[in-house]
Structure formats: structure tokens, C-alpha cells
Amino acid sequence: MTTLVTGAAGFIGSSTAAALLERGESVIGLDNLNDYYDIRLKHARLDRLEAISPSFEFFTGDVASDLVGEIVSAHGVDRIVHLAAQAGVRHSLEHPETYVSANVMGFLKVLEAARAHPVEHLVYASTSSVYGTNTSLPFTETDTADHPVSLYAATKRSNELMAHSYSHLFDIPTTGLRFFTVYGPWGRPDMALFLFTQRILAGEPITLFNYGKHRRDFTYIDDIVEGITRVLDQPPSPQPAAVPHPGASPSARYRVFNIGSNAPIELMRYVELLEENLGRKATIEFEPMQPGDIEASHASVDALDRAVGYRPATPIEVGIARFVEWYRDYYRP
């Protein structure tokens, strides 16, 4: 079994590739290794994958190019896990073109590769941000997701719609996963846990937007990877036998799921746990809500549980402790 993992040098991509390699599969990784954050961390993730198995092959290149199709054709790719994207809600306010290129055109190239060289399953990353102005909690897959409040969320919602059209027209089995605030070892330096840890250890203040009143469905990376691999192994059937999506083509092998912890916590509790594990108190600066942000997220994972038996297993107390242990080992602060 050969799986193409796009975004293989990224946080979720490298963790997913590691899990597939550890169970004896062949993995082809693709990443453009851009400098959105420290590229040394990306190379360290790739070194980790190469150490796991010789069945890992890596290509440097842009997902929004013909390279995706060339890899799928030349290497007999059986499945695709598409995790390459330009991430970050706030960054999208200043660099919109980057998001359209990476997230929309990049996904089109992946879909076209799967169309030209049929694969058993295409699993791709969406985001909880697609729920936008929705205030009904927990978020469920039948809730409206047509009013995103950031361009990043809009590009990911477009991916879901594009996947539906290709599943309907070309019988490509697709599953989208709406990630809810993923954290853990090997994480992204632009995300809250990483930034807070770095600044607390340096004696610098941390900023809490919305005056610290955010609630988030923080999801540990191992639980995310467990969900991805379970989904990957079970391609969708046509709609009547799969999870129903109102208005979807009944013949399309198409699904979209939430994947989260189903246990949201207040951001202040998140900081308290981090302080406990670091053995230091944080200096906090409170700021108002940022444009494009949402106040609360809470994932219903009932549909994913029914479909593939997914249930998150890592309490936030355990996840933060593991992240701090990894951070201290990696950075030696």
C-alpha cells in the first residue's frame, strides 16, 4: 500500500506519515518547505520519518503544480492524504493570494491527479473554522457552514464543495476532516501552545485575545492521527450507506466529518495547565477579539464514531504535559 501525504513536513502531515510508516506502509511525502515558520523544524520532522523506515520517499515541490499528478502516476499511489495548505486565520488577512494558490489551486491539482489516476481514497484537511458565525454548540456536520468569517475558512469550505463535485462526477471517494485546534509534540510554532511556552520560558508576556474568554476544542495530535488512519482505511460508500449530508448527491462517495476532542476548555485553564507543567507563571496581556476569529468551538464527533469507531482518548492534562516534555527535549531551553 502506497500513500501520498502532502504537507509531509508539517505538523499533522509528518505525524500521519510516521503512523503509516510504523505500520509497514510505503509513504511518499510532498512539501514545498516554505518559510512560514522555522524550516529547521520541518527538516527535523523529515529526518524523523527517514529514521522510521526506508519506505519513505520525499519530494520538494508545490502542491499547486503538476508535480502531484506526476507522483501519483509514476509511483502507483493507492491513496492520498492531502494535508498541505497555507494555515492560519490571521495570516490570511494579510496574504490572501497565498491561501487561494495553496488551498484552492493546490486542492484542484490533487483532485485532478485522483481523477486521472484513480485512487482508493482521498482524505483531505478541512477546519472547524468553516462553521463561522454558527453559535449552536456543539458543531455538527449538518450545521450550516456557508458563512465563514476568514478567507482561510472560505478556502477550506471550498475544498469540501470541490470534493463533492469530483466525487459526484468522477466517482472519487473523498473524506474531509474538520480539524479542531490540534496541539502536541512537533507542533506548529505559530500556534498558541508553542508561542505561550516560548514566551513564558523567556519571561515575556503572552497575549490572550477576547480577554481570555475563548473556549476551544483542543485535540491532541495522536487522537487526530488515529482518526485520520481509521478514516483512510474505510473509504465511503454512496450516500445512502454512508453519513448523510443534506442535499449531497446520493450517488457520491463523499463524506465530511468533525474530528476533535469533544471536550472544550476555557483558554485560561489551558494557560494554567501550561504554567503547572513549566513551573512558571505567565504574564498575561488581554486584548479584544481579533478579526476572523470565533469565540468558541466544540466538536460533536458522534458521526465519526459511528462511521469508523473514533473516540479521542487523550485528556488535556496529559497532552500538555507531553508537549512540554517534547519542547524541553527538542529546544533544551
Per-residue pLDDT tens over the stretch 240-259: 655 567 778 888 999 999 99
With respect to residue 324, please indicate whether it lies within any of the assigned structural domains: no
Q: Give the model's pLDDT for residue 243.
A: 56
With respect to residue 30, please indicate whether it lies within any of the assigned structural domains: yes
Instruction: Note if 152 is an active site residue.
Output: yes
The angle formed by the CA atoms of residues 9, 19 and 265, to the nearest 5 degrees, is 80
Domain CATH code at residue 55: 3.40.50.720
Q: Give the model's pLDDT for residue 273.
A: 97
Residue 37 backbone dihedrals phi, psi, to 5 degrees: -145, 180
Q: Give the model's pLDDT for residue 238.
A: 78
Q: Give the model's pLDDT for residue 246.
A: 72
With respect to residue 270, please indicate whether it lies within any of the assigned structural domains: no
With respect to residue 114, please indicate whether it lies within any of the assigned structural domains: yes
Q: Which residues of the chain have pLDDT under 70?
A: 89, 239-244, 292
With respect to residue 215, please indicate whether it lies within any of the assigned structural domains: no
Q: 305-329: per-residue pLDDT in tens?
A: 999 999 999 999 999 999 999 999 9
Catalytic residue among 99, 152, 183, 310: 152
With respect to residue 193, please indicate whether it lies within any of the assigned structural domains: no
Enclosing domain of residue 178: 2-182+221-260+298-313
With respect to residue 136, please indicate whether it lies within any of the assigned structural domains: yes
Q: How many CB atoms lie within 10 A of CB 292?
A: 19
With respect to residue 122, please indicate whether it lies within any of the assigned structural domains: yes
CA distance 329 to 287: 32
Q: How many domains does the chain have?
A: 1
